[in-house]
Amino acid sequence: MPNKQHKGISYAKYGYLFSLPFIVAFLIFSLYPTIYTLILGFTDCKGLGNTDWHILEHPFDNFKNVIHNKSFVISLKNTITIWLMNFFPQITIALLLTAWFTSRSNEIKGKGFFKVVFYMPNIITAATVAVLFKAIFAYPIGPVNDLLLSSGVKDTAYNFLVSKSAAKLIVAFIQFWTWYGNTMIVLISGVLGISPDIYEAAEIDGANGVQTFFKITIPNLKTVLLYTLVTSLVGGLNMYDIPKVFLDGGPDNATLTTSVYIQKQAFSGSYLYNKASAASMIMWVIIVICSAVLFWIMRDKDEAKLNKEIKLAQKKAKLIAESGGKEWL
């Protein structure tokens, strides 16, 4: 066909045209603000609504300041502690439930119901959950204290909201409570993706439920487990809604996470946009490193798929070219 080449080119243009809205929106609302934030990190920009700023004499001052800032270090430690306190129970219970719900020898009835109920907290607005838990742990007459007193576990009401460790535990618990159902569903779908042949072989070899779980399910779930780990870590590093609304980072900075720290620096007090920007960028680097790990884990699978597609497409193109038939795309 004489016009084949011509047509191919004219269609390629639509590829660019159709991805244009995405690219424009990304440039304006994502890339530009990111660069802006980075630049602000090197400036003296502070004060409410101030848009007049200059690059500092020593551009890295803000970054040094933030890294040595006591509150920032505390917030980073808190973020990681709270994440660890929520992640380990979460993954343990999610794995346990996954093992039960995918057990071949002991069918559990009502799986659908349990899945719906366990996932429900995840869909509720985090701000609402935070206020609700504050009310539930209220002192001296919240539901939890009511329960502790009337069951005789305690003689006097306990003020959870002024205890540093209790506040941290409650934030971690809320995170656990909102996410374990989600993790469970992701893990179950991972297990269902494992070839049933392997399980059948194990059954024939006489493996019991526990052996099957540790020798077959866990090794085959590796990618899904790593994916859960890294997405949870990235989400955990951005934890904002719950610690912010629950006790606004308190008591005594016990639930101050890095996102709450950044928000407080930039949008309250003396509006230190420059320091908050520097802190944002430090967090950005940490998150990018974590994402890179995730990307690296997910890559081989998708790339293999992509390469396969390309090969198939090339083969097709070749076939069509050889037969000299209709144009391809």
Partner 1 sequence: MAVRKKNASNRAFIISAYVFCAFLTVLSLLPFIIMIVNATRSTYQIQQHAISLVPSHFLKSNFEVLKDKGSFNAFKGFKNSLIISVGATACTIYFSTMTAFALVAYDWKLRKPFFTFIMAVLMIPAQVTSIGFYQFMYKIHMTNNFLPLILPAIAAPTCVFFMRQYMIPSLPMEILQSARIDGAGEFRIFNQIALPMMKPAMATQAIFSFVSSWNQLFLPSILITKNEKFTMPMMVALLNGDIYKTEYGSVYLGLFLTVLPLLVVYFLLSKYIIAGVALGGVKG
Range 222-241, binding partner 1 (CB under 8 A): 224, 227-228, 231-232, 234-235, 238, 240-241
Among 121, 161, 169, 251, binds partner 1 (CB under 8 A): 121
Among 108, 155, 160, CA closest to 137: 160
Residue with smaller CB distance to partner 1, 98 or 168? 98
Residue with smaller CB distance to partner 1, 121 or 251? 121
Under rule CB under 8 A, residue 127 binds partner 1: yes
Contacting partner 1 within 39-58 (CB under 8 A): 39-40, 45, 49, 51
Residues touching partner 1, count (CB under 8 A): 114
**Residue 55 bridge partners (DSSP):** 43
Q: How far is the CB of 156 from partner 1 (least distance, A)?
A: 15
How far apart (Å, rounded) are the C-alpha atoms in residues 54 and 303? Answer: 45
Q: How far is the CB of 41 from partner 1 (least distance, A)?
A: 9
Give the gyration radius of the chain's Cα atoms: 27
How far apart (Å, rounded) are the C-alpha atoms in residues 251 and 97? Answer: 34
Under rule CB under 8 A, residue 319 binds partner 1: no
How far apart (Å, rounded) are the C-alpha atoms in residues 87 and 233? Answer: 9
Contacting partner 1 within 188-207 (CB under 8 A): 188-189
Surface-to-core class of residue 220, CB atoms within 10 Å of its CB (0-12 exposed, 13-18 middle, 19+ buried): middle
Contacting partner 1 within 251-310 (CB under 8 A): 259, 262-263, 266-267, 273, 276-277, 280-281, 283-284, 287-288, 290-291, 294-295, 298, 302, 306, 309-310
Q: Applying CB under 8 A, which part among 15-23, 63-71, 83-91, 194-202 lies near partner 1?
A: 15-23
Contacts of 213 (CB under 8 A, 6+ apart): 99
How far apart (Å, rounded) are the C-alpha atoms in residues 101 and 111? Answer: 7
**Residue 43 bridge partners (DSSP):** 55
Contacting partner 1 within 134-163 (CB under 8 A): 134-136, 138, 141-143, 145-147, 150
| Residue 86 near residue 175, CB atoms below 8 Å | yes
